[in-house]
Structure 1
Amino acid sequence: MSEWNHKVKRLLKSELVKRGLSTEDLTVLLNSNGCAETKSSVDSKISRGTFSASFFMQCLYVIGCTKIEIEQFNSSFIISQPSNLLVAEPKTDLKISRDEN
């Protein structure tokens, strides 16, 4: 399991524990908010730690979590040229000319 999957799984589980909720409680809350989940599907997703961001946000929403604290993460991934990873809108106005023929 990747480090990130393990971290997000622990984060969701810890939010459930803080509120005294089980995965069965989570399943009921999800279903009452329009999500079609079974207890086994929720258990499986959390166990794998490979659920989607939307599932994660739905879970946090239904349990009443409005803030999460993300722990410091040290990775072996080294960014050699950070400027290559940034994307920004140009600060100049673009002029579009149309040929009228």
Structure 2
Amino acid sequence: MARKDDPQTVEYETRAKNLLKAELKRRGVTYAQLAERLATMDIHETERNLNNKISRGGFSAAFLLQCLEAVGASSLRLSE
């Protein structure tokens, strides 16, 4: 298992965080709106929790997919 301070782990967490933030920005979805959309999927997060979790970048793949589904993303570009 990769350590949290492993440079590769940090790199991928940063990439995941940036991908999610970019998708939210592209769709004009705020953290408050994301919280509302996740709630309709029976996933309860506050705006503050979302801000903290996404800022850290250490969230699960499941959380990433939940957020993408909540904003209506059907695909994700991993590189430009």
Is the pair's TM-score, using the shorter chain for normalization, greater than 0.5? yes
Q: Secondary structure at the match of 2:54?
A: helix
Q: Does 1:68 align with 2:79?
A: no
Structure 2-normalised TM-score? 0.84
Rg larger in 1 or in 2? 1
Q: Is 1:5 matched up with 2:20?
A: no
Instruction: Report percent identity of matched pairs.
Output: 36
> Using the alignment, how far apart are the partners of 2:53 and 2:31 within structure 1?
11
Alpha-carbon distance in 2 for matches of 1:20, 1:71: 20
User: Taking CA–CA contacts closer than 8 Å with sequence separation of 6 or more, which of the two structures ends up with the larger relative contact order?
Assistant: 2
SS of equivalent to 2:75: coil
Runs of at least 5 residues in structure 1 that lack an aligned partner in the other structure: 73-101
Structure 2: segments with no counterpart, 5+ residues? none
Normalised by the length of structure 1, the TM-score is 0.67
- How many matched pairs? 72
Rounded Cα–Cα distance in structure 2 between residues aligned with 1:36 and 1:70 = 27
1:57 to 53, 65, 71: 65
- Give the whole-Å Cα distance in 1 for the aligned partners of 2:30 and 2:43: 17
Alpha-carbon RMSD: 1.4
SS at match of 1:12: helix
